[in-house]
Amino acid sequence: MKDVIIVGGGPAGLVAALYAGRAQLDALMIEKQFQGGQMVTTNEVENYPGFVDITGSDLANIMYEHARKFGGTMEYKEVLDIQIDGEIKKVITDTEIYEAKVVILSMGAKPRKLGVEKEEELGGRGVSYCATCDGGFFRNKIVAVVGGGDTAVEDALHLSRIAEKVYLISRRDTLKANKVAQEKLFKTNNVEIIWDSIVTKLYGDNKLEQIQVTNNNTNKIVELEMNGLFVAVGSNPSTELVKDLVDLDKNGYIIAGEDCKTSIDGIFAIGDIRTKSVRQVLTAASDGAVSIYEAEKYLINH
């Protein structure tokens, strides 16, 4: 039986694995895809202390190696279910069943979709949710980014260095991104902002060819030839796995305070998956450290 199982390998999970290793706990981190979570889709991380400018992918690799240095153990499997048997937590994966005294939930969030026709069909065929991952396929092409927050503006700036033309489609008449990024965007010649508008249709058979954009105020419709569409309209918590296990708020986030405790003793929630006011790499990393501190206290008493 493990002391701790960490489900998810984003920045919160990686830091939890690091702290668990340093505390000499018998811990295991289980990740479905790749370490780093959504952080790896960020082209530039400029607000993580100690790194003036680093890609999300590079920062994820550094965190991963740091955790491994202190004995962090990681396996790449899909967790299918988590069950409670008294004080024992059973983590059921696609290949094996694990038991632990403590489970730390770090599944993060997944990109929110537009919900328009053909979005699923054209996924990977012109429609993307990761400009850093897929931007290189659109060199000298025409692309659009949907959104108005930090990620959308960062994506537009990243794509402006690759694509011939970049449209940023914002449903409001202002952007929510930080002012520094906005100023960079406004000075970028090959970026055009379409205000007060949403994407209402996608066209194309085997690949994206055109998009329909509708103005929220006038209902005026514009159709644009388009090679790539990058959706950056936020994310939804990946809590489907535990919706019947721990308490969630109305938006689907796990209810947990700064001590990362959930409604079930011995189960903690960290990073973007829990209720919190700020969701950034730094706050996720902080959760990872706190969760192991709280897990140690739990283990002493159980």
CATH class of 2-110+235-301: alpha beta
Q: How far apart are CA 207 and CA 26, in angstroms?
A: 48
**Regions of the chain where pLDDT drops below 70:** none
Is residue 135 within 8 Å of 159, Cβ to Cβ? Answer: yes
State the Cα angle at 188 between 221 and 59, rounded to 5°.
105
* Predicted pLDDT of residue 39: 87
CA-closest candidate to residue 166, choices 189, 149, 146, 143: 143
CATH number of the 113-231 domain: 3.50.50.60
* Predicted pLDDT of residue 126: 96
CA-closest candidate to residue 158, choices 45, 48, 280, 51: 45
* Predicted pLDDT of residue 53: 83
3-state secondary structure 160-221: HCCCCEEEEECCCCCCCCCHHHHHHHHCCCCEEEECCEEEEEEECCCCCCEEEEEECCCCCE
Residues 3, 130, 155, 287: which is the catalytic one? 130
Residues 3, 26, 58, 133: which is the catalytic one? 133
User: Across all residues in the chain, what is the average pLDDT?
Assistant: 95
Is residue 274 within 8 Å of 253, Cβ to Cβ? Answer: yes
* Predicted pLDDT of residue 260: 98
250-264 pLDDT tens trace: 999 999 999 999 999
* Predicted pLDDT of residue 165: 99
For the purposes of burial, counting CB atoms within 10 Å of the CB of 23, is it exposed (0-12), middle (13-18) or buried (19 or more)? middle
For the purposes of burial, counting CB atoms within 10 Å of the CB of 212, is it exposed (0-12), middle (13-18) or buried (19 or more)? middle
- Give domain limits for the chain: 2-110+235-301, 113-231
Is residue 207 within 8 Å of 122, Cβ to Cβ? Answer: yes
Q: Is 134 part of the annotated catalytic residue set?
A: yes
* Predicted pLDDT of residue 203: 98
**Cβ neighbours of residue 139 closer than 8 Å, sequence gap 6 or more:** 162, 163
195-237 pLDDT tens trace: 999 999 999 999 999 999 999 999 999 999 999 999 999 889 9
CA-closest candidate to residue 288, choices 256, 246, 265, 260: 260
How many residues are recorded in the chain? 302
Tell me the β-bridge partners of 143: 166, 228
* Predicted pLDDT of residue 94: 94
58-67 pLDDT tens trace: 999 999 999 9
Say whether 113-231 and 2-110+235-301 share the same fold.
yes
Residues 134, 155, 272, 287: which is the catalytic one? 134
